[in-house]
Structure 1
Amino acid sequence: MKTYLNILIVFLMIFSSNKIIAQKDSTALQRKARKMVREGNKLYSQNQFTDASVAYKKALGNNANYDKASYNLGNAMYQNKNFKEAVPQYELSAKTAEDKFSKAEAYHNLGNTMMETKNYQGAVNAYKNSLRNNPNDDETRYNLAVAQKMLDKENQDNKDDKDNKDNKDKDKKDKDDKDKDKDKKEGDDEKDKKDDGKDDKDKDGKDEKDKNKDQKDDPKKDDKDQKPKQQQGKMSPEQIKQLLESLNNEEKKTQKKMNAQKAKGKKVKQEKDW
């Protein structure tokens, strides 16, 4: 029993010793962090923002939750116009700050940084968080009004751009539709022309086919059309001879009739039969 008691005492002594050592180490780190912050503040006051940033980072290396180090590091980066790098430092400071006033300052500077990057919605949110922790800060309230105005303007511009884009897309669609209608009409006109030409061709082909059919049905007609016509008034010698004989006979008959009618006093006009 006595042995167990001795072991327990030794264990408690070791535990207490380690705790004391850890506390001493933590205190030493906190002292180093505060020392680096003071060094950074001195450099910051001399406008040596880059060197000041290095000192603040060393302070955070010794104490990651040191809100003053993260806040001052954000300020140094802001002064160097490293706005994107400053944002997470202010967010960390707002998260680790132990009092509302410190939180309000961190959110206020976060809002200023958001304004620099034209993140107006983020700025509005940051300023509102700052006022929640310090409602009496008139500067923050003014900055919130400016950020809200810029946000409204941005939304309106985006809406106008969208409307303009929609109108352009509509105009382009209407133009494309008109071009399509025009192309379709021209295509229909060209098709009609082709159809008319085809109809004429088919008609000509049909007429030619009918003609060929007629020639096939009436070979004599085709032969007649194909042979040259005999000239009018031209007769063969045999036809002339026959005609003269016929005329002589008719003349004799006529002479007899005329002689017979002279007594009556009537003259008759004789028509030729050719």
Structure 2
Amino acid sequence: MINKLMYIFFFSLMLTTTNVLAQSIRKLNNDGVDLYEQKKYADAEINFRKVLEKNKDDFITNFNLGDAYYKQEKYDEAIKSYQNALGKTNDDLTKAKVYHNIGNSLLKSNKIEESIEAYKNALKLNPDDADTKYNLSYALELLKNKNKNQQQQQQNQNNQQNQNQQNQNQNQNQDKNQQNQNQQKQNQQPKDQEAKQDNTKQQQLPDSKISKEQAERILEALKNNEKDLQKNLRRVKGKVVKPEKDW
């Protein structure tokens, strides 16, 4: 009888403890929801994390924590919480909502290709979800524009590289032409100097050509000089030399 009473007592105590714990978890979660609706997302996050410390397998709390992270733009943390929530439910419609939120978090993180996959997973589970269809089409358009911009940037880069190569080749050709011109000038410079020197010599030398009249005058002058010279010599020869004085 005593053993039976003790069993009833411990069983009742366990139920009471479980009920208290459940009430505490429920209260924390509800308080977190109230804070979330008041846009106090950081405080709501604290409450949801306290719930998960006591019951990490609760789907609703994992999902709510993901929403609190999302509102704070903590998209990586939000994705982790949503992924944790996926493993806590077997309902396809519920999973579809989780994939939808994962897609939004990825899209906000500019992970467009990954967000498209998440939206596709959501539509596999709930093909009639209009919001997910819209978000998927939006993500596909973003991806199209992204690829187009990348192609344009690549084309611009290629054009710039081609232009740079053309400019480089043109500069090299100009440098080569300039070097050739300089070399030609260097080769011509000694010849020009020699020609100038020859001209200088020609200017310094008298003209060797004389007229016939000038030649005759020169000859006549030479003849006259010769006559004068002979006459002077005769005068010297005919002069009487005085004898030396006889002392």
Q: Closer, same or farther in 2 for the Cα pair 1:29/1:177, shift >3 Å?
A: farther
Q: Aligned AA for 1:239?
A: E
Cross-structure match for 2:136:
144
Matches of 2:42 and 2:60 in 1, distance apart?
A: 17
Matches of 2:182 and 2:16 in 1, distance apart?
A: 99
TM-score, normalising length: structure 2: 0.68
Name which of 120, 123, 129 aligns with 1:131. Answer: 123
Name which of 218, 222, 230 aligns with 1:235. Answer: 222
- 1:2-81 matches, cutoff 5 A: 32-81=24-73
Name which of 99, 109, 122 aligns with 2:91. Answer: 99
Q: Closer, same or farther in 2 for the Cα pair 1:197/1:64, shift >3 Å?
A: farther
Q: Aligned AA for 1:94?
A: L
- 1:209-228 matches, cutoff 5 A: none
Q: Aligned AA for 2:226?
A: Q
The alignment partner of 2:222 has SS state of coil
Q: Aligned AA for 2:84?
A: L
The alignment partner of 2:52 has SS state of helix
CA contact (8 A) 1:39 1:55 kept: yes
Name which of 104, 109, 113 aligns with 1:121. Answer: 113
The structure with the larger Rg is 1
Q: Kindly state the Cα deviation for residue 94 of structure 1 after the two structures are TM-superposed.
A: 2.6
For residues 190-219 of structure 1, the C-alpha deviation after alignment (integer angstroms, 9 at most, x for no partner) is: 122112225x27x949x99xxxxxxxxxxx
Is it true that 1:194 corresponds to 2:181 in the alignment? no
Q: Kindly state the Cα deviation for residue 28 of structure 1 after the two structures are TM-superposed.
A: 7.6
The alignment partner of 2:128 has SS state of coil
Percent identity, aligned pairs only?
A: 24
CA contact (8 A) 1:29 1:63 kept: no
Matches of 2:57 and 2:37 in 1, distance apart?
A: 23
Q: Kindly state the Cα deviation for residue 102 of structure 1 after the two structures are TM-superposed.
A: 2.1
Segment drifting more, 83-92 vs 103-112 = 83-92
Cross-structure match for 1:184:
176
TM-score, normalising length: structure 1: 0.61
CA contact (8 A) 1:111 1:124 kept: yes
* Equivalences, count: 201
CA contact (8 A) 1:110 1:123 kept: yes
CA contact (8 A) 1:94 1:106 kept: yes
For residues 126-146 of structure 1, the C-alpha deviation after alignment (integer angstroms, 9 at most, x for no partner) is: 101111222221221121111
Matches of 1:238 and 1:63 in 2, distance apart?
A: 150
Q: Aligned AA for 1:134?
A: N
Cross-structure match for 2:101:
109
Segment drifting more, 28-37 vs 152-161 = 28-37
Q: Aligned AA for 1:240?
A: K
Matches of 2:19 and 2:179 in 1, distance apart?
A: 91
Q: Kindly state the Cα deviation for residue 91 of structure 1 after the two structures are TM-superposed.
A: 2.5
Matches of 1:136 and 1:67 in 2, distance apart?
A: 23
The alignment partner of 2:156 has SS state of helix
The alignment partner of 1:135 has SS state of coil
Matches of 1:86 and 1:58 in 2, distance apart?
A: 16
